[in-house]
Amino acid sequence: MFSRYTTELDSERPSFHNIFTVPSGGSFQSIKTRAIVEHHGDDSGAGRWTCSKDPRMPNCVHIHKARDTLQKYVLSDSRATDPKASTKSLIYNNSGR
Ligand SMILES: [Zn+2]
């Protein structure tokens, strides 16, 4: 799921507040297992990403999924991904969990 709000503090640099609901753990369960990912920034994926489940982790798996979702939306391509997020996800996975 994906909700978008526009915050036009500066019309030359449009900024968005996006809210993503990302399933947690890969299994379909109740809403309580979902992570809420918020993005404040522009359509390139730049800006600040926060996750309700991992408040101290700037690039957790939920944010990775949300970044891909944003690119699917921006590019109108269901197979789009955010290459920057993929790179960071590898770092995240290699760091041990
Ligand atoms: Zn997370």
Ligand 1 centroid–CA 58 distance in Å is 8
Single pTM value for the model: 0.69
Rg of the Cα atoms in the chain: 13
How many other C-beta atoms lie within 10 A of the C-beta of residue 39?
A: 22
Instruction: Locate the domains of the chain by residue range.
Output: 2-94
**pLDDT tens, residue by residue, 59-92:** 899 999 999 999 999 999 999 998 877 554 444 4
SS3 59: coil
Residue with tokens 């920057």, as numbered in its chain: 84
Ligand 1 centroid–CA 82 distance in Å is 17
Distance CA(69)–CA(82), nearest Å, equals 8
**pLDDT tens, residue by residue, 5-39:** 766 555 566 688 999 999 876 555 555 678 999 99
